[in-house]
């Protein structure tokens, strides 16, 4: 009888403790919606064109006045330069040294030409086209658009890389979160390989569905292998970073990992909204944040023959190495071991004991519920 009274008292105490825990847990969705609105909706609700590089093609003596007039009217949204020949301008657009190049019409009867690379940013190409149409209309001419790096037919509006990165980001965050929930005492020698293998599977599956299924990601076998590899490395790094916050902060670490790897990361990706149309704060983060480096690498792999991928890969590896170093610090190792030891496996090692405890808990729960 005494045991039952003690069990009833423990059950009441446990129930009283649940309400503060539940209310505290509700801070997570509130934090999520507030940060989502401020960061992601705030970043994407309106483009902020700044420094879109457009070349005006033709001999300087012919195009100087036009270039000066366009630069004055366009303001800071566009960075106007002069290019001597069409071939030179097209090469620069193809190499991402220019976002677009405008070839004026020699007469109103002939159309002007705009050279763009939509693969380097559909919104930027559209903004440059709008400017070119205004200039051509002032000359009484039509405009023809010439693509030198088009998007694939399965990704005509340029969302492919953005959605791939969102999937990798969310899965990179979810993997260590689920492991900490279902297997909190899992040893590091097993935890980190699981995160690594899952990261590779996530990137591969995202490509198989989006690439083979919908034609969003296309290229040679080597191109697609590199694409999947960068995605896996990025996802693994997000997973390691999330685990770092778990080790250092425990349950409150969810706020830190969400802030760093979701709410500061996704708005600064520069995928659909490339850096030239991001607001100043997000444009600043785009220079060094891990997601932006991965997006630039993926874009280089898929559309620009790997040009410039070395710099972006180094940036990703710096993030990965930095997180690994922090996880290997003695203080991190001690905290991780302490958290593992704090979760006793003895309650799971004795089925008989567990069965008796469950029956006693259920009996007292029903009694209190009927009361």
CA distance 336 to 94: 49
Residue 100 has a pLDDT of 96
Taking only the tens place, the pLDDT of each residue in 114-153 is 999 999 999 999 999 999 999 998 888 899 999 999 999 8
Band the pLDDT of 1: cuts 50, 70, 90: low
Instruction: Please check whether residue 118 is in contact with residue 127, taking contact to mean a CB–CB distance below 8 angstroms.
Output: no
Per-residue pLDDT averaged across 196-217, rounded? 96
Backbone angles phi, psi at 281, to 5 degrees: -65, -45
Predicted confidence band of residue 47 (pLDDT cuts 50, 70, 90):
confident
123-139: string of b/e by CB count within 10 Å (b at 16+)? Answer: bbbebbbebbbebbeee
Residue 352's pLDDT band, with cuts at 50, 70 and 90, is very low
Could you give the CA distance from residue 87 to residue 94 in angstroms, rounded to a whole number?
10
312: pLDDT strictly greater than 90:
yes
| DSSP type of residue 38 | I
CB 55 within 8 A of CB 83: yes
Given a cut of 70, is residue 310 above it in pLDDT? yes
What is the distance, to the nearest Å, from the Cα of residue 38 to the centroid of all Cα atoms in its chain?
A: 16
The pLDDT confidence band at residue 78, using thresholds 50, 70 and 90, is very high
The pLDDT, as a whole number, for residue 366 is 53
Written as six digits, the tokens of 32 are: 């999520």
Mean pLDDT in the chain?
A: 88
Q: What is the pTM of this model?
A: 0.86
Place of tokens 């076998």: 221
Nearest to 77 by CA among 101, 53, 51, 95: 51
Q: Which two tokens stand for residue 87?
A: 């071939």
Compute the distance between CA of residue 267 and CA of residue 40 in angstroms, rounded to an integer. 5
CB 316 within 8 A of CB 237: yes
Would you place residue 348 in the very low, low, confident or very high pLDDT band (cuts 50, 70, 90)? very low
Region 316-324: mean pLDDT is: 98
The pLDDT value recorded for residue 354 is: 43
What is the third-level CATH fold of 52-150?
D-Maltodextrin-Binding Protein; domain 2 (3.40.190)
Residues of the chain with CATH 3.40.190: 52-150
pLDDT in tens, 192-202: 999 999 999 99
Give Cβ neighbours of residue 180 (< 8 Å, ≥ 6 apart).
Answer: 243, 246
């Amino acid at each position: 009888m005494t045991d039952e009274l003690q069990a009833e008292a423990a059950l009441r105490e446990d129930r009283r403790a649940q309400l503060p825990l539940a209310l505290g847990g509700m801070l997570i969705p509130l934090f999520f919606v507030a940060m989502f609105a401020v960061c992601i909706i705030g970043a994407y609700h309106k483009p902020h064109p700044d420094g879109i590089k457009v070349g005006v093609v033709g001999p300087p003596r012919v195009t100087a006045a036009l270039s000066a007039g366009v630069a004055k009217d366009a303001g800071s949204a566009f960075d106007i330069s002069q290019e001597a020949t069409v071939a030179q301008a097209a090469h620069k657009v193809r190499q991402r040294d220019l976002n677009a190049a405008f070839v004026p019409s020699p007469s109103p009867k002939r159309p002007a030409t705009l050279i763009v690379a939509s693969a380097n940013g559909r919104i930027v190409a559209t903004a440059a086209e709008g400017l070119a149409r205004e200039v051509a209309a002032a000359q009484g001419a039509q405009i023809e658009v010439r693509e030198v790096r088009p998007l694939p037919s399965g990704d005509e509006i340029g969302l492919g890389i953005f959605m791939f990165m969102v999937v990798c980001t969310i899965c990179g965050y979810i993997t260590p979160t689920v492991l900490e929930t279902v297997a909190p005492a899992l040893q590091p020698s097993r935890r980190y390989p699981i995160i690594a293998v899952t990261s590779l599977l996530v990137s591969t599956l995202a490509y198989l569905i989006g690439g083979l299924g919908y034609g969003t990601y296309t290229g040679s076998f080597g191109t697609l292998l590199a694409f999947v590899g960068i995605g896996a490395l990025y996802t693994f790094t997000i997973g390691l970073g999330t685990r770092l916050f778990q080790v250092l902060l425990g349950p409150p670490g969810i706020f830190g990992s969400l802030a760093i790897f979701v709410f500061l990361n996704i708005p600064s990706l520069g995928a659909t909204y490339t850096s030239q149309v991001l607001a100043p704060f997000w444009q600043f983060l785009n220079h060094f944040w891990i997601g932006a480096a991965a997006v630039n690498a993926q874009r280089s792999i898929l559309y620009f023959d790997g040009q410039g991928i070395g710099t972006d890969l180094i940036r990703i590896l710096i993030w990965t190495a930095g997180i690994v170093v922090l996880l290997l610090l003695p203080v991190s190792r001690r905290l991780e071991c302490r958290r593992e030891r704090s979760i006793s496996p003895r309650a799971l090692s004795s089925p008989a004991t567990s069965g008796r405890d469950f029956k006693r808990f259920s009996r007292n729960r029903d009694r209190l519920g009927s009361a």
